[in-house]
Amino acid sequence: MPTSLRILHVASEMVPFIKTGGLADVVGALPKALNGLGHDARVAIPLYRSVRRKAEALGLTWSEHPLVIEAGGVDHRVGVGTVELDGTTVYLLACDELFDRDGIYGPSAGMDYDDNARRYAVFSKAALALPGMLGWVPHFIHAHDWQTGLIPALRERGFQRTLPATRTVFTIHNIAYQGAFWHFDMKLTGLDWSLFNPLHLEHYGRLNCLKAGVVFADRVTTVSRRYAEEIQLPEFGSGLDGVMRANAFKLRGITNGIDTAEWNPWTDEALPTRFDLRRPGGKRACKEELRTELGLVAAGQPALVAVVSRLVEQKGIDLVVAAVEPYILAGRMQLVVLGSGDTHLEHRLRQLQTRHPGWVHAWFGYNEELAHRIIAGADLFLMPSRTEPCGLTQLYSLRYGTLPLVRYTGGLADTVTDVASGSGNGFTFGPMDYGHFSSVLDRALGLYEHFPVEWKQAMKRAMGADHSWEQVAAEYVEMYREIMFVG
């Protein structure tokens, strides 16, 4: 068995090129960590319009000839750009008629382009054609989320001659996003119509890309152990729980890590003052600076409570808006929100800010540096998600000594333990309702106000835990080896 594995990761996002959520963080970090363990992990992503300039600044070079990818009777020329990023080779697949647009998935947040089936079918086929062009045949193609869900099906039924020994791994980062399209889009895949049935690519009359990945991959993983269990239940399966149960034999949960170089409070250049477990003093200064930056009054030293999130139903922001007001009025907490998403949630947060100037600050949009400063400066981080496949921000918060208050679900349950256990690092609640959320918030603020020693101990436990990718990457390697020569 070879000691060094060749793995091609294929995804629609990757830090530092393009990011709408945690998927990009994972695709930025996991291949790097695999390379750190001595493997040859490379990445393929689409060359979106906003990626081009960043890639050029990093020394983008082009292959001599483009790939020609057919989809539904139309030939697309796909240029192959290459960038070396900290020792990881990244292929940027360029097809201007599909990816040279202002948006990533759609013209604005929450909207989809109506040719997304074509865009990602072409991208998936191009990723499979890449090894032949490069003369570099990976042992594994590791596809992430619905945008690349066709890859395992195509490898199995279309590219089996060119990639006979290559195994496929498919990772679900969020089962709620499935890439479901009308049945005529089957012709874009080039796969036989006989596969359009409920055991394979069809799900209730539609072509379902996520299902294609699950059914055809040699191994399916998802991003936390608990989420791997949850998605087999109707409550969490978004209609695919039966498919997940049927494929449970090859499903594994591997809880994400975090990029500990990027999220290190001792070296973080976004912070006004640095701190860490051994030198925690700077955290207070970060809090005071953050208050000044955001125009929050400091009187009485209330707890600084933060949210950094996509503002969507999944994240439970509605509970935050519904529950915090009595605590703000009582002078017990200030709220800082950084996020973007649903306009009705933004509207409600704006109203909250107007009612409580100096006590609530909401910043709408995407701001990487501010995210670092908020996570460093806050005392408590709220994440009452309805579902959470893994969640990364609670892990960043732990590392920065900001205790997370989370709903006990998915990766949040895997990574946060309630202080009530005596050895916890945050606060958890179960039922998704106002009463339970409000009472755990009350309990968290109570601990902050009256039990500083216990609070500090929980902070230490939070900051001391190891969530680095190195360990997690080793788990992926173990899984790759299990399927290496099977079948």
**Identified binder of ligand GLC from the candidate list 16, 21, 282, 358, rule CB under 6 A:** 21
- Provide the minimum distance between the beta carbon of 310 and ligand GLC in the complex, in angstroms, as a whole number: 8
Q: Check residue 390 for interaction with ligand GLC (CB under 6 A).
A: yes
CA-to-CA distance for 458 and 455, rounded, in angstroms?
A: 5
Tokens of 255: 């809880």
Verify binding: residue 409, ligand ADP, rule CB under 6 A. no
| Axis-axis angle for helices 22-36, 469-483 (nearest 10) | 80
**Rule CB under 6 A: is residue 366 a binding residue for ligand ADP?**
yes
Judged by CB under 6 A, the residue of 112, 368, 433, 470 near ligand ADP is 368
Distance CA 475, CA 225 (A): 12
Distance CA 412, CA 80 (A): 38
Q: Which of residues 305-334 bind ligand ADP (CB under 6 A)?
A: 308-310
What does 310 bind: ligand ADP, ligand GLC, none (CB cut-off 5 to 8 Å by kind)?
ligand ADP
Footprint on residues 200-239 left by ligand GLC (CB under 6 A): 223
Nearer to ligand GLC (CB atom), residue 69 or residue 307: 307
Residue nearest to ligand GLC (CB): 22
Give the amino acid at 60.
Answer: L
Instruction: Give me the helices (H) in 366-468, please.
Output: 368-377, 393-399, 410-415, 434-450, 452-464
Helix (H, G, I), strand (E, B) or coil at 18: strand
Among 10, 13, 22, 128, binds ligand ADP (CB under 6 A): 22
| Sole binder of ligand ADP in the list 13, 25, 156, 414 (CB under 6 A) | 25
Nearer of residues 327 and 381 to ligand GLC, judged by Cβ: 381
- Determine contact, residues 178/240, Cβ cutoff 8 Å: yes
Number of H helices, E strands in the chain: 19, 19
Taking a C-beta distance cutoff of 8 angstroms, is the pair 243, 210 a contact? no
R_g (Cα) of the chain, nearest Å: 23
Q: Residue 259, Cβ neighbours under 10 Å: how many?
A: 20
Task: Tell me how far, at minimum, the Cβ of 26 lies from ligand GLC, in Å.
Answer: 5
Q: Which is nearer to ligand ADP, 26 or 121 (by Cβ)?
A: 26
Q: Is 12 near ligand GLC (CB under 6 A)?
A: no
Q: Tell me which of ligand ADP, ligand GLC, none is bound by residue 223, counting a contact when its beta carbon lies within the kind-specific cut-off of 5 to 8 angstroms.
A: ligand GLC
Kindly write out the interface string for residues 373-402 of this chain, putting x where it contacts ligand ADP by CB under 6 A and - elsewhere. Answer: -----------------xxxx---------
99 vs 141: CA distance, rounded Å: 22
The item of ligand GLC, ligand ADP, none sharing an interface with residue 9, based on CB under 5 to 8 Å by kind, is none
| 218 binds, options ligand ADP, ligand GLC, none, Cβ within 5 to 8 A by partner type | none
DSSP-assigned letter for residue 313: G
Whole-number Cα distances in Å, 53 to 17, 58, 63, 403: 9, 9, 18, 38
Question: Contact 426/287 with Cβ under 8 angstroms?
Answer: no
Residue with smaller CB distance to ligand GLC, 81 or 389? 389
CA torsion sign, 288 to 294 to 299 to 303? negative
Site residues (CB under 6 A) for ligand GLC, limited to 26-65: 26
Which residues of the chain form contacts with ligand ADP (CB under 6 A)? Answer: 21-22, 25, 308-310, 338-340, 366-368, 371, 390-393
Site residues for ligand GLC per CB under 6 A: 21-23, 26, 173-174, 223, 256, 388-392, 411
